[in-house]
Structure 1
Amino acid sequence: MRTPIIIDCDPGHDDAIAILLAIANAEKLDLRGITTVGGNQILDKITENALKVISFVNADIPVAKGAAGPLFGKLVTGEEAHGESGMDGPLLPPSKFRPLEEGAVEFMLNIIRSSEEKITLVPMAPLTNIALLITAYPEIKERIEKISLMGGGISYGNVTSTAEFNIFVDPEAARIVFESGIPITMSGLDVTDKAAIFEDEIVALKERGPVSTMVGELLDFYSIYGKKMGYVGSALHDPCAVAWLLRPELFESEHLYVTVETEGKLTRGMTVADKRKKTDRPANVEVLVGVDREAFMKLIFDSLEKLDQELLAAEGN
């Protein structure tokens, strides 16, 4: 049976790859819609990026704009890693599609309420939209099957020594989500840094079809920041949240109690995990900590190849 999902994102190079991964595996994932939130860049830019990605592969998927910034304070963007557009690299054609008039919270609410099956949420951005949804409509939590999110890390951060970007941008929203009681699987830095694509693999992508080539060009730009920071390879953070839904057996995990620090001067945005069971609070998060990188990369390559073939077939008609 196909899993009905909504992707909440801020494209973002790795967001784009995650969206394509979901679209390519439509026999397993029923992508009901995409919502956007200010994060890697400002809301208008990342919404346009989402529309360009789905347009590139002729996927007419509803896109709804959400929160422009966090619940409190000003938006911190990821421009240093993702560029002025939020998805610098290939020059994608203008989108054939436009965002819905309906806002992200209303869109998610209507999809969840009208669905015969429970919906799985796949946030790979600051958790502002998700927090707004479950705060305004707490009864909807019973209609959410689970949340597979990209964010956090139980060992270290990437914006500060303790905080990962998505959680750091809106820790108050993240805390609401983590303490919501909804089943959560967390693809944090502990696993996503292990899901890295290397230079030879990026070159190989660009020797394939149009979608693979576009992704290779995205990664050419995305890898610049990683090299500047001394990383070997480019971590495919966001695709992990989708890959876990497709192939959970590729991942290792631990069930832990996790919450989010919102006040610490040095630790704001930290996902605090009770790894030694020091509290009496039950585990609320399945934390992914390992991945079969080769099998994960094969899933990415095979999925992009499928989209290549579909796009070439459509162009041939």
Structure 2
Amino acid sequence: MIPIILDMDPGIDDAVALSIALTNPNFDIKLLTSVAGNVSVDKTTANLLKLTTFFNRQEVPVARGASKPLKKAFVDASYIHGASGMPGYDFETPKNQAIAQDAVSAMAETLLAATEPITVVATGSYTNIAQLIQRYPEALPHIKRFVLMGGSLSGGNVSSVAEFNVFTDPDAADIVFKSGIDIVMIGLDVTLKALLSLKTIDAVAKLGECGKMLHQLMTAYGDTEADGKPMHDVNTICYLLAPEFYTLTDYWVDVITQGPAAGATVADTQNRWSQGKKNVHVATDIDAAAFEKWFVAQIPNMNKQLEGEE
């Protein structure tokens, strides 16, 4: 099993990613942490609790994280994800509550208690992770790697150069990218290729209660390309289970923190300033057909979990 901490801001594509992670037997989820991003941290925390209740996984601890970026003002993406962050499906009231610890101290405690290194997966802004790096350096050797949804080498989705998660808190991203910890960056270069066709999304609706839930979330999702909908955050989970779908290229990547290019992730593709050093494994291509087929194949696991089957 893969021990992981998931740091998220659900958000529809976060919710879809978490649905797979909570129900795939290859994952040992040690902790879920929320962060402000697609919607406020109160709402992202509530959405994590809704999903752990939905899948009968209330034993997975949920910790509330940062309510705003390190320095800049917080601006959400409710115009894409709806006011609640997870519109379209009527989730029951959560049966569990967030733990008393804040996300950063809960991460540190979980890492320090670990008997093997833990992969930290982040699908929102990296504010919590940056604070972990700053406040708990003793916990960092217990991190196997960061798998991050974010960034882009080929243009942005909130500006001409910036991807949303990095743009939301570029100062945090800068700290993370300079941390020296092994990083896999899964950004728009691949997530905009990993589309679920509208035909596939319609077919998902027929795959039990979980298929119905996913279909209702995905059809409420405001992020749509000509050939389908990108489930950006799902790629972090897919990468951990099927890395052969992805092409990674090692680069030195810097984060721009100020000015009109704030949030840009700039790779030294020509070795102009990095002197041959590398700090990020950047996902640069994907087998999109394999991704779509893999996604549909996860839904039976979800229904088994929902029905209480082993």
TM-score band, normalised by the shorter chain? Answer: over 0.9
Instruction: Assess if the C-alpha contact under 8 Å between 1:57 and 1:211 holds in 2.
Output: no
What is the alpha-carbon distance in structure 2 between the residues aligned to residue 181 and residue 83 of structure 1? 36
Q: Tell me what 1:203 maps to.
A: 202
Mapping of residues 150-229 of structure 1, within 5 Å = 150-222=149-221, 225-227=222-224
Question: Any conservation in 2 of the 1:11–1:50 contact (CA below 8 Å)?
Answer: yes
- The alignment's TM-score, normalised by the length of structure 2, stands at 0.96
**Superposed displacement of residue 86, structure 1:** 1.3
Structure 2 residue runs of 5 or longer lacking an equivalent are: none
The answer on 1:278 being equivalent to 2:299 is: no
* Contact 1:226 1:233 (8 Å CA) reproduced: no
Q: Take 1:214 and 1:125, find their aligned partners in 2: how far apart are those partners?
A: 22
> RMSD over aligned Cα, in angstroms?
1.2
The answer on whether the counterparts of 2:207 and 2:299 sit within 8 Å (CA) in structure 1 is no
- 1:281 deviation in Å? 4.7
Provide the residue aligned with 2:262 in structure 1. Answer: 268
Question: What percentage of residue pairs aligned between the two structures are identical?
Answer: 39
Partner of 2:65: 66
Q: 1:7 to 1:313 in 2, by over 3 A?
A: closer
Distance 1:94 1:135 in 2: 35
Aligned equivalent of 2:248, options 253, 270, 290: 253
Cα offset, 1:294, TM superposition: 2.1
- Deviation, 1:283, is 1.1
- How does 1:289-300 map onto structure 2 within 5 Å? 289-300=284-295
Give 3-state SS (helix, strand or coil) of 1:35's partner.
strand
CA distance in 1, matches of 2:113, 2:235: 28
2:56, 2:305 within 8 Å by CA — same for their partners in 1?
no
Report if aligned partners of 1:209, 1:309 keep a CA contact under 8 Å in 2.
no
1:252-301 C-alpha deviation (Å, 9 max, x unpaired): 111111110012x2200101111122121511111011111222122221
1:185, 1:287 within 8 Å by CA — same for their partners in 2? yes
Q: Which moved more, 1:279-288 or 1:114-123?
A: 279-288
Q: How much has 1:139 moved relative to structure 2?
A: 2.6
Q: Which residue of 2 aligns with 1:116?
A: 115
Q: Match for residue 52 of structure 2?
A: 54
1:194-228 deviation per Cα after TM superposition (whole angstroms, max 9, x unaligned) = 11111111110101111111001100100xx234x
Mapped partners of 1:77, 1:71: distance in 2 = 15
Instruction: Find the aligned partners of 1:97 and 1:297 in 2 and give their Cα distance.
Output: 32
- 1:30-49 aligned at under 5 Å gives the runs 30-49=28-47
- Partner Cα separation in structure 2 for residue 313 and residue 142 of structure 1: 36
Letter in 2 for 1:275: T
Matching residue's letter, 2:7: D
Structure 1 stretches of 5 or more lacking a match? none
Question: Within 2, Cα distance between the matches of 1:194 and 1:24?
Answer: 25
